[in-house]
């Protein structure tokens, strides 16, 4: 599994700022959650596929698609067995 993350903790705007960025090429069936995040997150799938679950809704995510995580909501992310995703 390849991954790279960059963290920026400077607050240039009190309403909107980037706190981290990176990518992760996941292993087959790699799973995160169920868990809650403390901030908003946007993920872009650049390759592969997987599923994203938020609340009672499950979504099949393909390359070229985004998914959005809201703070305080229970989510789960799972990479595909045959074609695991790379998320940015």
CATH of the domain at 36: 2.60.120.10
Other CB atoms within a 10 A radius of the CB of residue 29 amount to 12
Inside any domain, residue 65: yes
Residue 63 lies in a domain: yes
Domain membership of residue 7 (yes or no) is: no
Residue 24 lies in a domain: no
Residue 77 lies in a domain: yes
Beta strands in the chain (DSSP E): 2-7, 20-25, 31-36, 41-47, 50-54, 57-61, 66-69, 74-79, 86-87
pLDDT tens for 32-68 read 999 998 888 899 999 999 999 998 999 999 999 999 9
**What phi, psi does 54 have (nearest 5°)?**
-135, 120
**Does the model's pTM come out above 0.85?**
no
Residue with tokens 């599923």: 51
Residue 42 maps to a domain: yes
The answer to the question of residue 50 being in a domain is yes
Quick one: average pLDDT of 6-33? 74
Q: How many domains does the chain have?
A: 1
Mean pLDDT, the chain, rounded, equals 85
């Amino acid at each position: 599994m390849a991954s790279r993350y960059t963290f920026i903790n400077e607050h240039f705007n009190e309403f909107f700022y980037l706190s981290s960025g990176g990518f992760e090429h996941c292993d087959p069936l790699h799973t995160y959650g169920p868990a809650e995040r403390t901030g908003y997150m946007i993920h872009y799938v650049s390759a592969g596929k997987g599923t994203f679950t938020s609340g009672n809704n499950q979504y099949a995510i393909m390359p070229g698609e985004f998914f959005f995580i809201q703070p305080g909501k229970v989510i789960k992310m799972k990479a595909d067995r045959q074609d695991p995703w790379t998320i940015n």
